[in-house]
Amino acid sequence: MTRLFLIRHGPTHAKSMVGWSDLPADLSDSAALARLSDYLPAGALVVSSDLSRAVETADAIQRDRQRLPHVQALREIHFGAWELRTWAEVDAEDPERIRAYWEAPGDVTPPGGESWHQVCARVNAAVDRLIAAHQGRDLIVVGHFGQILTQIQRAEMLTAEEAFAHRIDNLSVSEIALGPEGWQAGAINHLP
């Protein structure tokens, strides 16, 4: 069985859609980072998206755990022209598209961005490669809201709308596993 501990990066404090922009994480809550690191299995491998907010968070919780190279395919949703814009700003220009994107996730894309189905395909393939390369190992995957939801959707066999109902806080851990019986979900959005 391969267990995945999906960690959302530290907060950026941005009040807009942050996808592929490389904003730093606020890692000033050292007590929360210590609790998170203490909660995670000591022998797990650590991997993160290549965006600095995920890399810095992984650095902060790594301790003596082995680090794998950053994986670009574990990035957040690519928001294209909506990047770093607020819902209200985009809603004023393109209300039908932004509502369809968030309320019925699937094939709708932001201009120059990616659809929910594209995000799922990208992240699922990256996670599958990690599992195949490290079968039976615990993996700490430090990433992003959307990236974590793709795996919760897969493990719990949810619709996209059901997956989006999950709250994923910064510095939370969501646990899923792949074993002989298939995917299993454990604690979701746990704050140690």
Distance CA 184, CA 182 (A): 7
In angstroms, the Cα distances linking 71 to 40, 49, 58, 94, 126 are 20, 5, 12, 32, 8
Helix residue spans in the chain (DSSP H): 30-39, 52-62, 87-93, 95-103, 116-133, 145-156, 160-164
| Segment 86-102, tens digit of pLDDT | 999 999 999 999 999 99
CB contact at 8 A, 141 and 5: yes
| Segment 1-26, tens digit of pLDDT | 999 999 999 999 999 999 999 999 99
The amino acid at 30: S
Q: What is the pLDDT of residue 177?
A: 96
Q: Which of 13, 56, 70, 76 is catalytic?
A: 76
Q: What is the pLDDT of residue 16?
A: 93
Number of neighbours of residue 174 by Cβ within 10 angstroms? 24
Q: Which of 9, 114, 144, 175 is catalytic?
A: 9
The amino acid at 2: T
Walk me through the domains of the chain, giving residue ranges and CATH numbers.
2-79+115-185 (3.40.50.1240)
Helix (H) or strand (E) holding 80, with range, is none
Q: Reply yes or no on whether 96 is catalytic.
A: no
| Segment 28-82, tens digit of pLDDT | 999 999 999 999 999 999 999 999 999 999 999 999 999 999 999 999 999 999 9
Helix (H) or strand (E) holding 104, with range, is none
> To the nearest 10°, the Cα dihedral for 140, 146, 151, 157?
160
Q: Reply yes or no on whether 70 is catalytic.
A: no
